[in-house]
Amino acid sequence: MCIKYYLTPEFLSYKRTFKKHIDFFGVQNGGVRKLSSKLDTLFEALSVVSEGCHIYLCDLKRDYSRWSKNAVEYFGLPGEYMYNAGDIWKEHIHPDDRDEYSGSIDDIFSGKSENHNMMYRSRTRDGKYVICTCKGIVLRDEAGNPTFFGGCIKNNTVLSYTDGITGLRSLYGFMEDVEVMRNRKLPYSILLIGMSRFSAINDVYGFNFGNDTFNSFGKLLIERMGHLGQLYKMDGTKFALISWKSDTNEIADIYAQIKNEVAHDFVVSGEKVVLSINGGLVYVNDFNSSRDTVLSCLKYTYYQSKNNKMGELNIFTSYVGDSSRRYIKMMNVIRNSVADNCSNFFLCYQPIINAEDEKLKGMEALVRWRNDDYGVVSPGMFIPILEQDPIFAELGRWIIRQALMDSKRFVEVYPDFLIHVNISYAQIERGDFITELLGILSELDFPPENLCLELTERCRLLDIGLLKNQFSLLKRHGIKIALDDFGTGFSSIGIIRELSFDTIKVDREFVRNIDSSTTDQKTIHFIADLADAFKAEVCVEGVETDRIRVVLGDFAINSFQGYYYSEPVVMDEFSKKYLSDN
């Protein structure tokens, strides 16, 4: 391996800073304990400002080192403080690169060299090798004796912390700074702001003009929000602000001004451009919650603005303070439960009844979570936020597996029995979802034709071509698909027309007053005719009373679901009711 020797100005500044503090503290005055305390403070400061680097500092006399926390976590090291760290680190270096590394480190400790500068491959916590550049220098005391060896390790596979177009901190810098803010334990706000339908500008004006528009919007944010905190260029057409200087009201006011300006008075290269923006705001004052939990809450809040509020700023929960803090803390506990093999989660089941003979036709699996501090928490409280988190896939797999295991004995008694499992759009868009699903079915020896996946009309957020392909593959294996909560969204009729559903589930809102509302009666009649036109069955949810059941008997309904027959119950109770006579 050919190694080019150089020291960047940034690295030379580290050298000057280290030496300045060592000369100031002095190894003779104060002893080892005082020196270690002072250097710990310096080390922590350098770890914060050393963007994209893993810092290390070794006491040459004792061969005792401290490594930055990000290095410990990323590479899976034993801890921040280590004896004989050189040999420990050597085990992480690719076998083909170790000899050169060992020679360089031996030269440092023997006094033959004062500089370490090389590239090698190093193994991360998950077993992958990444290319690193490691630089180090020997620091001497006033008497000229070698005292410390310090430097940094740069992971060359990590993308830049600075966006090349806008000059703002990048997504990677944002992720790092959120962690820094969490460690500071001071309240702060995060704003995620992005543009909708930006591709239309590229289509009309061309990509060069689109880039100019994007840069002009970034400059506008810097001009209006730069004083509030740190701005970031995120993925796609999104930006973020981390603010520790302003309350949410000031951020909300400036957001409203920007939203109005880009919709009416935004000019790029002499052309008036109309932009639509969306914004989500999270106020953070719980510092035990993980970065991933905070970001999931932020993304959920942003997409609420984009999909349901026409771009109006959406603030996490109805107001900030104790309510949002408790919510974020709860979400952190729930997220940790997912990571802990889905502990504290359980399923309840609600029967689906044949409308013709009122016999059991199937059941819907409904996830719940509980612990001593928060009691039982319904899915509406945590699913929308967990959907924004990569960890959601793990919970989805657990729900499917548990529901299929619980359903096997019903399939043996009722050959046409259907277990309905709710599937998020976040699951079905994953490329490996169907492969995983088929693997679980095969592992449990569960017949695919007895499984029905329920999707809400929020699946409209996905590419229709992707959905068609996924639906076609699922149906090829005999799996059925239902459209849940029909009528509550924006484009359910279009989805029915484009996609082939086996069942249309009518939301409870349409039957609550079915006995007295002619409008609701006509709506149910229309839905039944619509489903028949597309060869789909109709299941009505919200059958709460005998009167509702009787009125619905006059319509072409295939199945009922609601509290009139049973509330959602745990499997033991469900089995006692429906398997006791078999």
Give the pairing of strands 64-67 and 188-196: unpaired
pLDDT score at 320: 40
Structure confidence at residue 159 (pLDDT): 53
- CB–CB of 444/404 below 8 Å? yes
Q: Which element (helix H / strand E) includes 492?
A: helix 492-498
Q: Are the C-beta atoms of residues 131 and 157 closer than 8 Å to each other?
A: yes
CB distance 224 to 257 below 8 Å? yes
Q: For the beta carbon of residue 224, count every other beta carbon within 10 angstroms.
A: 14
- The order of strands in the sheet holding 238-243 is 230-233, 238-243, 188-196, 276-284, 314-315
Show Cβ contacts of residue 54 under 8 Å, excluding neighbours closer than 6 positions: 67, 68, 70, 71, 74, 75, 152, 153, 154, 155
Q: Which helix (H) or strand (E) holds 193?
A: strand 188-196
- Residue 497 has a pLDDT of 82
- How far is Cα 6 from Cα 300, in angstroms, rounded to an integer? 46
DSSP code of residue 532: H
SS3 45: helix
CA pair distance 81, 415, nearest whole angstrom: 62
Residues of the chain where predicted confidence (pLDDT) is lower than 70: 1-42, 44-52, 156-160, 164, 246, 317-324, 457-461, 488-492, 581-582
**Which one, of 233, 284, 277, 227, lies nearest residue 255 by Cα?**
277
Q: What tens digit of pLDDT does each residue of 493-539 get?
A: 777 888 889 999 998 888 888 988 999 999 999 999 999 999 999 99
Q: Which helix (H) or strand (E) holds 538?
A: strand 537-541
| Edge-to-edge strand ranges of the sheet holding 53-59 | 81-83, 64-67, 53-59, 146-155, 129-140, 115-123
**Buried/exposed 28-50: b ≥16 CB within 10 Å, e otherwise:** eeeeeeebbebbeebbeebbeeb
CA distance 376 to 71: 39
Residue 203: C-alpha distances to residues 195, 198, 444 (Å):
15, 9, 49
Buried-state track 490-508, b at ≥16 Cβ within 10 A, e below 16: eebeebbeebebbbbbbbb
pLDDT digit string (tens) for 129-170? 887 888 888 888 888 888 888 888 887 666 567 776 777 888
Q: Which residues pair with residue 482 across a beta bridge? A: 454, 503
Tell the burial category of 346 from Cβ atoms under 10 Å away from its Cβ (0-12, 13-18, 19+).
Answer: middle
What is the C-alpha to C-alpha distance for residues 95 and 85, in angstroms, rounded to an integer?
17
Strand 345-354, strand 569-570: pairing: antiparallel
Domains of the chain as residue ranges with CATH: 9-155 (3.30.450.20), 171-330 (3.30.70.270), 342-578 (3.20.20.450)
Q: CA separation (Å) from 480 to 84, 268, 447?
A: 60, 50, 12
